[in-house]
Amino acid sequence: MGFKDRMKKAAESAQAATSKIGVGASGEQIEQANLAQKLVQQGVDTPAHIDSMTATGNTDATGSTEYEFKLTVSPAGGEAYAAAARQYIHPSATFSEGMDVSVKVDPDDSSRMMIFGAS
């Protein structure tokens, strides 16, 4: 078992133990955190436009609200495409429908991305 496997198993064990008492991050939140970490290191900066954003009703311990975003992503030298992304946004962030933003796109899967700021 490699280091990544041990870390994943530890995270899953911690999540399973805390889910019984309502403490800790959900599996989906852990997955989003892992994606964010990958995108910081390897993500491709790409312009995008927020077509719509809808709160899912989920929040995290920091007070951030999860949103479902519908985006138009415009990669350099490629065709623009429609995409969807879920992301927790802190109340101090000022994203809104109609806004142009910068996303980081997973180089291994162009359907996986996160908003990293305004354009």
Chain segment 33-73, per-residue pLDDT in tens: 888 899 999 999 999 999 999 999 999 888 999 999 999 99
Q: Which of 10, 13, 25 is nearest to 88 (CA)?
A: 25
| pTM of the full structure | 0.74
pLDDT value at residue 25: 73
The CA-CA-CA angle for residues 83, 27, 29, to 5°, reads 55
For residue 98, the model assigns a pLDDT of 97
Mean pLDDT over 17-42 rounds to: 76
pLDDT value at position 32?
A: 84
Could you read off the pLDDT of 82-106 as tens digits, one per residue? Answer: 999 999 999 999 899 999 999 999 9
Number of domains composing the chain: 1
- The residue range of the domain holding 99 is 3-118
